[in-house]
């Protein structure tokens, strides 16, 4: 009788830990940095993923908009378009661009870049 009670008690303890370990492992969700979140409701996980993706897009957009341009870098092709071209460089107090170069206004900066390659020769912070 004593042996039956001990066996039943041991079996119930082992079964309880196995079930709780499985439930804990199923509730763990890992993010990109390897941390885990133990929420059990999928509604919250879907909501968090949507917000996390939005904030990543915003952060990438901010980095792209406020890039620090320096001499010797190449100006991206999207900024070599005519809508960034500064035609009235005298009005902005800029010197005449040498042959093969032109002024582009990007991120409140005037950038003197080669037309063919986009190599930056000079960067001046816009005053207005």
pLDDT in tens, 25-77: 555 666 666 665 555 455 554 544 444 555 665 665 555 556 788 999 999 88
- pLDDT given for residue 7 in this prediction: 86
Task: Report the DSSP pairing between strands 101-106 and 36-37.
Answer: unpaired
Whether domain 77-125 has CATH 3.10.450.160: the reply is yes
pLDDT, position 29: 62
Q: How confident is the model at residue 114 (pLDDT cuts 50, 70, 90)?
A: very high
Domain ranges, ordered by start, for the chain = 2-65, 77-125
Dist CA 58 CA 86 (whole Å): 28
- Do 86 and 106 form a contact (C-beta atoms < 8 A)? no
pLDDT at 98 exceeding the cut of 90: yes
The model carries a pTM of 0.49
């Amino acid at each position: 009788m004593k042996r039956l009670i001990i066996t039943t008690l041991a079996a119930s303890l082992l079964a309880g830990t196995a079930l709780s370990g499985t439930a804990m492992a199923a509730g763990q969700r890992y993010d990109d940095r390897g941390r885990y979140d133990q929420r059990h409701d999928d509604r919250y996980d879907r909501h968090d993923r949507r917000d996390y993706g939005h904030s990543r897009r915003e952060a990438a957009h901010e980095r792209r908009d406020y890039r620090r341009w320096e001499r010797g870098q190449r100006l991206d092709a999207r900024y070599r378009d005519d809508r960034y071209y500064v035609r009235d460089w005298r009005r902005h107090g800029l010197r005449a661009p040498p042959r093969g170069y032109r002024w582009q206004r990007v991120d409140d900066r005037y950038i003197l870049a080669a037309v063919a390659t986009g190599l930056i020769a000079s960067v001046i912070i816009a005053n207005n």
